[in-house]
Structure 1
Amino acid sequence: MRSFFFPFILTGLLSAEEPGPPVEAVVNLVEFYCVDCHGGGIEKGGLDLEALLERPLTGHSDIWEKALLRLDTRQMPPPDEERPDDEEYQAIVAALSGQLDRAAKKSPQVGRGETLRRLTRTEYRNAVRDLLGLEVDVSELLPKDDSSHGFDNVTVSNLSPTLLNRYLTAAQKISRLAVGNAPASPEGRVFRLPPDRTQEKHVPGLPLGTRGGVLLPHTFPVAGTYEVSLRLTRDRDEMVEGLYEDHEVEVLVDGERKSLMPVSRPKGRKDFTQVDANLKCLIEVPAGPAELGVTFVAKPPKLLENKREPYDASYNRHRHPRQSPALYQVSIVGPMERSEMQPFGVLAETGLSPEDERAAAEKILRPLVRRAYRREVDDEDLVRPLEFFEEARGEGFQAGMEAALAAVLVSPRFLFRVEDDPEGLPSGTVYPLDDFAIASRLSFFLWSSLPDDQLLDLAAAGQLSQPEVLTREAQRMLMDRRADSLVTNFADQWLHLRNLDSIAPDLRLFPDFDDNLRQSFRRETELLFETVMREDRPVVDLLTADFTFLDERLAVHYGIPGIYGSRFWRVPLEKDSQRGGLLRQGSFLAVSSYANRTSPVIRGNWVLETILGTPTPPPPPDIPALDDSVVSAKLPMRERLAAHSAKPACATCHDLMDPIGFALENYDAVGRWRSFEEAVPVDSLGGLPDGRTFQGVEPLIAGLAERPDLFARALTEKLLTYALGRGLEASDHPAVREILRGAADNDYLFSELVLGIVRSQPFTMSQTR
């Protein structure tokens, strides 16, 4: 039977010269393997492939792209049906992808996003940082952005009246900070620590010999005196937790001690409610960004702490009571008095004397407006900001500059990225973007921020669109520290790290889980991604890394000895280690679990979507969740899921997801290794969509690593979605394959994927509506 089918594949390959109906190889595959489920009017999985065999492929490329993806990942035909061998799979994938690519080349389509795209909250923060040198906590100023296609920079075209008011308020506050103008009356900021944060150990960034507390980035608007007041963590009876003896708490600014206050144990129970009533101090600080630290002076460790190992949580009144008092809230109010010190910000940086105030204002504003609007500016662009300057400068030069900057920050040319179609082109015309549009796409992709002066200068000279210049600039930008946004913005969303903040494992089952562990989970994964990016390693190292990053809290949780302190260390791992790579990290294992148990379904679907790029469709609306009142929680997980997914409508997807998830069952809901569950050996028999079965996580990772092209494709699609700010269309997939062909000879290095994206047609071109 193989010998009958394979010659037709070869014939199809040789005859696939022009776009048209599917080539003979595709026709034979569909008729031989697929029509029982996807033919004769049967639309199983939403596809009737037989009906498309005589129709032009270009009119149905979206369907054929889906079919190609399932064939390339060996998900179709299902493992329990007759399937081609691997050689046949490779041949048919080559035939179908080749025809799709030729059709795309003959009739290019590049898609387009929204004409107007508002800056996300993260992009706004970074833009303010790079424009004005200010670190601003935008979470206090702007609402969270909604996500689509996995990223929050996709659905950001609207600007409601309520959101506009938030932007106005933010612009007023930021512009006042930028010029060093004191508020009319003292203003305050309140920062609260998570209630489940253990504060018995050193906090990174604070002086050695201290424990607990917080390091808080804060911008002091003017030089002067500010009041810092503290509140300690209390229990439900309003008693300060952990106050068994006297302590000291210190307040620092940029590492310099500003105050040391005693925290005395009261003699009577009633006095406990007044312990922190006088934990206030006045500090003298210069204007500008600073790091405000509040922490306790550490005491020598006690035997109690040693006895608690390996449980390292001390935040819960009943199971893990605090051993020492902990910080709950920091309030900063000021300025109470203003000093005569030199202000910081755009005025201080210029060194201009405002003798000719309008000329000085224009000299300050012109380069700022150029960077803010991401293009060359002319006198007309300065008219509106200078009008605001003139209206307000009666109250002083700083007041005028504050008004002018606020006008820039609320301008649509700053808040929105605009890509207008050239005039006179017919609808559907593909055209190259201008250099300034490419500069914005490049900077918001790699930095989540504004283009710098070098990018703008190249765009103004018409050189940035040249492939060699574009490549060189992308390489420069990847080496810049601002490319860390690919870690904290792209990777945090792609790998669902933002979901860590909302997970709350059942404390009856996982009593030692605390916020410290939650943050260590996040940092381990971020450091792995950062290493692959900064060292320009093959992206498959994200799965197979033989090292990880640990601090003491995470090492204790994983049962790895010899790691001490709050610093993260790069730790080499033995071949038989239970750690290393994304699938063995607590971040993924925790966000893919429920509060009280693991979920092979969620874990399996996460791997299908994130690692293989083949998400399953959502479940039918009438399918209930796994209910312990219906399916006994005492049954092993495999039996519980079997009872849950017995319906034929469920089996198609569960047959793909569940085997992957079961291979990860040795990890519990908070990522700890286990061999038994409820005194029953863990069943980790799993498999891959190609029908292979195996035991445990090691062969799962090895099987995924055998096809680095699949993981590289999935990552490239996510990077491209993030770069374009829109979901991918069928017309984008030929470009993805071209990127992968260019990266294959270099082991799919991270930089090869990024450079391929910035040179691709979807990134450098657009299409008229």
Structure 2
Amino acid sequence: MSPLRIAPVSMVLLGALTFIPEVSAQSSAVYRTSVQPLFVKNCFACHNEKMKSGDLNLQAFASSPAVAENRDKWESIHRRLVAGEMPPVGLPRPDAAELKATTEWIQGELNRTQRAVKPQAGRVTARRLNRSEYNNTIRDLLAVDFRPADDFPQDDSGYGFDVIGDSLSLSPVLMEKYLGAAEKVVQTALFGPGAVKPTVVRHQPPYRVGTDGGDNSRFSKALPFTITNYDVTGLALPSALHTMHRFPATGEYIFRIDPEGNRPRPSDDFQVAVWIDGKQAGSVKYEASAAATSMEGEDRTIKLRVEGGEHWVAVSALRLYEGLPTTYGGLKPTTRPAPPAQDPGALLTAKPNATPEELKELEERRKTFAARQRLRNNKPPNITDISFRVNFVEISGPFEPDTKASAASRRLILTCDHTDPGQHTAACPRKVLTNMARRAWRRPVTPQEITRLLALVEQDRKRGSSLEEAMGTGLEAILVSPQFLFRVEHDPKPTGADAEHAVTEYELASRMASFFWSSVPDDELMRLAEAKTLRRPEVLEAQVRRMVQDQKSKRLVEDFGGQWLQFRGLESVRPDINRFGKFDDYIRMSMRQETSLFLNHVIRQDRPVTELLNGKYTFLNEALAQFYGVSGVSGPEFRKVDLTGTPRSGVLTHGSVLTVSSYSTRTSVVLRGKWVLENLLNAPVPPPPPDVPTLDESTVGTSMSLRQQMEKHRTNAVCASCHSRMDPLGFGLENFDAIGQWRSEDGKFPIDASGTLPDGRTFQGPSELISVLSEQKDAFASAMTEKMLTYALGRGLETYDRPTIRAITKRLAESDYKFSTLALEIVKSLPFQARKGDRMVSLAGDIKANADHR
């Protein structure tokens, strides 16, 4: 940068600082007589030039408070003094009058300096589509029902979200993936998936091959089928199997069902049924028997036609006993009473010790083996007891797959008023490519851009390609263009990096579609942008409400909510199976679904967002209800459940939140307290010092309770300041174990879920903790606003965004915290509606100025 260019920039920065009025003489006097003496007496011992605890040196403010230049530090000081977090517990507390004078002075100075801060639009880095956006956009553009981006590298995150432009890089590997995905997507959309080779996938527990208790990993590659795992206790009966299965294409599939255990003796025949996505698709019948004979080897097959894509598959016996609940609305109930509860006993197993070939032979011969034998601590077992369950299901196919392109895909692409290849005219490619480029690039296209695309089509035609094949090449070019892969916004009149301007209506439509749908604008948004009416207040409000009610807003739940509340990370959590044997993949899925449905309800029903804190309801299926100890829920369907009379309310008592904020072997008051502070109150704690000792895991729950361990840990003065904020919140949730189940003891110690917050407020147990947190509605509303605004903008927030946050939070409170207000106010806000200039424009100006100067 030339010297001539430095001066104006320096003047701008100087002007920004001097715009803030000087501290008045009266304010300075209060600082010297009230604030500074409190710091000297209560704070300098830890926050000085040498120690700088929490990266804060209050001695630096000895001569001047410098509030404007250090606003973030003063806001932190004020928040922690008001909350009673400072001075730490155990150290002398300031006099109440002194503390009041200090906090009032700080708040006054913050208000004064804030009035001088002008809100700014901010600069957003042009960012590429993340994996979720790519999949959604391809589906909405072309009606292609597969997820090409699942094969892409993982997206990097910033500020807790994977939509931050500065974090989303484009590697050579990813570019290769884009090229391959574009080709596959276009070929599938225009010509269908092509030939699909049938596959065989077996869904069964990992110990089911060879000998009970064996380890598949040693020999699974030698088997003639793919093995996946499933749990056996997720549905209404322990006989159930359920799993997620990807069907490569629409077609016929053969389901081979292998039963295990003894044949029950009901009053009539019984059936084993297959469900696809919760709907019964077919069943097989097992005849009644006079004796409870073994069902080994009595496998059955059923052929079903299934749409291509990912589906939940369930296989279970229909109702067997009067006293047992139905599974997916079972048929033909019998009148026989349910059997008494039995000791589950111990299963004696052996690990495999043979070659893969021998194990394959054993798998074929095992059907003639006697049924498993258990050692029970009961009276001699009754041979009529039910022990039936589904051992495995094997899915083969597709057979006779539908290899044609879907009519929906061709309608979206071939906009020439026909879809018959024989009717294409010379004008058709221009119309097709113009329409697709406009939708994919989220803006009108120029004649020059269309000319370049048509040149590719013509080049392909000269090589002998059909017209549709050549148009496919043009479509692929659209999908690998930076205009598609990146959300590009242009300066209409470039004047420099600091110049603010409103985004165009097309760019506004693109921002809204990315925010609510993680996709591209639909036809209605594009039509309004073209008419330049989208920004009208009444139109904008109507569109926000329409988009929230659209089914595609579930993506906001998954992509924003899943990262904010962290239930998207539940997939990678692995609780210790030896300690938490009731946790399986079906419970994991159910936990995630519970939180997703809860947030979706708040959004779609326009409920107060504070219900996320204290809503006395949730969404459960039978498996999760039993897991929680909630009665009155039967069947696999999720439904809204009243939690009155239970200790659960809001997302804090969801199994998803409690599990992701725990270790694999135990709960963590630190992780849970930190989760509350960071996600619900937006009051993050600094990272711990590098030399902090860890807890002695061997003593937790045995020789010392977790609370005793943590109290011992807090004797370290360096740790106490942060732990006084985190630990009480975590202790309030200690009645929930590491997978979210209720407990009254931790090992041999009774649970003590009481806590005292730094400001002196106390609570007993999770219900009172949630009541205490619910008193901080504005803090929660502000935290959610910051999180959602960060997600909507795709950038971290700056000091100049604080007026926007406060204004949105104020409007939110005035509307009883309705979600629609939050969504609409974000879309109406300056940073969402406008942006600063391009950094590259400024750099180009600098380069030119330097050249002129020389």
**TM-score relative to the length of structure 1:** 0.82
Residue correspondence of structure 1 range 667-678 to structure 2 within 5 A: 667-678=736-747
Cα deviation for residue 47 of structure 1 reads 1.9
- CA change 1:83–1:488 in 2 (3 A) is farther
Please point out which of 172, 178, 196 is paired with 1:167: 178
Q: Is the 8 A contact 1:686 1:695 kept in 2?
A: yes
Q: Secondary structure at the match of 2:649?
A: coil
Within the candidate set 572, 587, 612, 2:642 is matched to 572
Cα distance per residue 1:685-722 (max 9 Å; x no partner): 21223232222112211111112000001111110111
Partner of 1:531: 601
Q: Secondary structure at the match of 2:427?
A: helix
1:421 Cα offset (Å): 4.4
Question: Which amino acid counterpart does residue 147 of structure 1 have in structure 2?
Answer: S
For 2:158 and 2:663, locate their aligned partners in 1 and report how far apart those are by CA, in whole Å: 23
How far has the Cα of 1:562 moved from its partner?
1.4
What is the distance in 2 between the residues matched to 1:156 and 1:356? 44
Q: Which moved more, 1:723-732 or 1:318-327?
A: 318-327
Alignment check: 8 A CA contact 1:31 1:50 kept: no
Report the CA distance shift for 1:88/1:334 in structure 2 as closer, same or farther (over 3 A): farther
1:324, 1:70 → 2: CA distance?
57
The question of 1:119 aligning with 2:153 is answered no
Alignment correspondent of 1:351: 418
Q: Which of residues 219, 237, 241 in structure 2 aligns to 1:212?
A: 241
Contact 1:217-1:291 at 8 Å conserved across structures:
yes
Amino-acid identity (%):
36
Alignment partner, residue 434 of structure 2: 366
C-alpha displacement of 1:540: 1.3
The 1:453–1:56 alpha-carbon spacing in structure 2 relative to 1, beyond 3 Å, is: farther
The code of the aligned residue for 2:114 comes to: D
Cα 1:200–1:715, aligned 2, differ >3 Å: closer, same or farther? closer
> Is the Cα contact below 8 Å between 2:195 and 2:403 reproduced in 1?
no
SS at match of 2:618: strand
Query: Which residue does 2:142 correspond to in 1?
Result: 132
Give how far 1:492 is off: 1.0
Contact 2:203 2:393 in 1 (8 A): yes
TM-score in terms of structure 2 length: 0.75
Report the AA paired with residue 471 of structure 1: E
The answer as to whether partners of 1:20 and 1:58 remain within 8 angstroms in 2 is: no
What are the within-5 Å matches in structure 2 for residues 145-224 of structure 1? Answer: 145-154=155-164, 156-183=167-194, 186=197, 195-198=229-232, 201=235, 212-214=241-243, 220=249
Distance 1:465 1:319 in 2: 73
User: In 1, are the aligned partners of 2:190 and 2:405 still within 8 Å (CA)?
Assistant: no
In structure 2, the residue matched to 1:143 is: 153
SS of 1:325's equivalent?
A: strand
For the Cα contact (< 8 Å) 1:187–1:333, is it kept in 2? yes
- Cα deviation, 1:232-284, whole Å, max 9, x if unaligned, reads 8xxxxxxx784656986759799695997999xxxxxxx98x999x9796x77
**For 1:441-486, what per-residue CA distance to the aligned partner results, in whole angstroms no more than 9, with x for missing partners?**
2211111111122222332333334444433322222222211122
Deviates more, 1:19-28 or 1:315-324: 315-324
1:202–1:566 contact (8 Å) kept in structure 2: yes
**How many residues align structurally?**
721
- 1:130-149 Cα deviation digits (max 9, x unpaired): 11123322454323222221
- What residue is the counterpart of 2:319 in the other structure? 300
- After superposition, the Cα gap between the structure-2 partners of 1:455 and 1:67, relative to the gap in structure 1 and judged at 3 Å, is farther
CA displacement at 1:632 relative to structure 2: 8.1
Whichever residue aligns with residue 82 of structure 1, its letter is: P
Deviation, 1:565, is 0.3
SS of residue paired to 2:641? strand
**Partner residue, 1:558:** 628
Summarize the Cα distance change of 1:526–1:316 in structure 2 as closer, same or farther, 3 Å threshold: farther
2:763 aligns with: 694
Q: Does 1:517 align with 2:536?
A: no
2:117 counterpart SS class? helix
Alignment-derived partner of residue 389 in structure 2 = 324
Q: Indicate conservation of the 8 Å contact 1:147/1:153, yes or no.
A: yes
For 1:505-564, what per-residue CA distance to the aligned partner results, in whole angstroms no more than 9, with x for missing partners? 222222222222112211221222122212222211111112222211111112122110
Work out whether residues 120 and 800 of structure 2, in 8 Å CA contact, stay in contact via their aligned partners in 1: yes
Residue 419 (structure 1) aligns with: 489
**Are 1:104 and 2:81 counterparts?**
no
User: Higher mean Cα deviation, 581-590 or 624-633?
Assistant: 624-633
Counting only pairs closer than 5 Å after superposition, residues 301-450 of structure 1 correspond to structure 2 as 301=320, 323-327=388-392, 330=395, 332-333=397-398, 345=410, 346=412, 351-354=418-421, 355-392=423-460, 394-421=464-491, 423-450=493-520
1:592 to 661, 675, 678: 661
Shift, 1:489, TM fit: 1.2
Question: Who is 1:64 aligned against?
Answer: 74
For 1:58 and 1:179, locate their aligned partners in 2 and report how far apart those are by CA, in whole Å: 60
Matched position secondary structure for 1:690? coil
Seen in structure 2, the aligned counterparts of structure 1 residues 311 and 454 have a Cα distance that, compared at 3 Å, is farther
Partner of 2:734: 665
Which segment drifts farther, 751-760 or 594-603? 751-760
Amino acid at match of 2:43: C
Superposed CA RMSD in Å reads 4.2
Question: In 2, are the aligned partners of 1:181 and 1:399 still within 8 Å (CA)?
Answer: no
Instruction: Give the letter aligned to residue 315 of structure 2.
Output: F
Q: What residue number does 2:12 align with? A: none
**Which SS does the other structure have where 1:443 is aligned?**
helix
Select which of 35, 53, 60 maps to 1:51. Answer: 60
Q: What is the match of residue 733 of structure 1?
A: 802
Deviation, structure 1 residue 428:
2.7
For residues 415-456 of structure 1, the C-alpha deviation after alignment (integer angstroms, 9 at most, x for no partner) is 111234455423433333222222222211111111122222
- Distance in 2 of aligned mates of 1:621 and 1:159: 33
Equivalent AA in structure 2 for residue 47 of structure 1:
L
Please give the residue correspondences for 1:745-756 in structure 2 after superposition, counting only pairs within 5 Å.
745-756=814-825
Question: Aligned equivalents of 1:310 and 1:464: distance in 2?
Answer: 66
- Checking the alignment, whether the CA contact within 8 Å between 1:213 and 1:327 is kept in structure 2 is no
User: Partners of 2:161 and 2:342 in 1: how far apart?
Assistant: 37
Q: Secondary structure at the match of 2:487?
A: strand
| 1:351 partner amino acid | H
In 2, Cα distance between equivalents of 1:437 and 1:98: 34
In structure 1, give the amino acid aligned to 2:627.
H
Matches within 5 A, 1:235-250: 242=260
Letter of the structure 2 residue corresponding to residue 760 of structure 1: S
1:546 aligns with 2:616: yes
Aligned partner of 1:153: which letter? V
Q: How far apart are the structure 2 equivalents of 1:608 and 1:319? A: 49
Quote the Cα distance in structure 2 between the aligned partners of 1:316 and 1:547.
43
Deviation (angstroms), 1:121: 0.7
Compared CA separation, residues 602 and 373, structure 1 to 2 (3 A): same
Pair 1:763-2:832 in alignment: yes
C-alpha distance in 1, partners of 2:189/2:519? 18
Are the counterparts in 2 of residues 353 and 360 from structure 1 also a CA contact under 8 Å?
no
- Mapped partners of 2:395, 2:581: distance in 1: 27
Shift of 1:322: 8.9
**Cα distance in 1 for residues equivalent to 2:428 and 2:233:** 50
Say which is worse superposed, 611-620 or 420-429, in terms of deviation. Answer: 420-429
Q: Per the alignment, in what secondary structure is the counterpart of residue 431 of structure 1? A: strand
Q: Which moved more, 1:488-497 or 1:188-197?
A: 188-197
1: CA distance, partners of 2:37 / 2:513? 49
Please give the secondary structure, in 1, of the residue aligned with 2:582: coil
Shift of 1:495: 0.7
Q: C-alpha separation between the residues in 2 aligned to 1:179 and 1:257?
A: 30
For 2:797, the aligned partner's letter is L
Q: Which residue of 1 aligns with 2:777?
A: 708
Aligned to 1:486: 556
The residue identity in structure 2 corresponding to 1:735 is T
Unaligned stretches of 5+ residues in structure 1: 1-16, 204-209, 233-239, 264-270
Of 719, 723, 727, the residue aligned with 1:654 is 723
Task: Describe the SS at the equivalent of 1:686.
Answer: strand
| C-alpha deviation, 1:497, in angstroms | 0.3
For 2:807 and 2:340, locate their aligned partners in 1 and report how far apart those are by CA, in whole Å: 55
| Structure 2 counterpart of 1:680 | 749
Secondary structure at the residue paired with 1:614? coil
SS at match of 1:104: coil
Q: Quick one: distance in 2 between partners of 1:729 and 1:34? A: 28
Give how far 1:87 is off: 7.1
Distance in 1 (CA, whole Å) between partners of 2:65 and 2:506 is 41
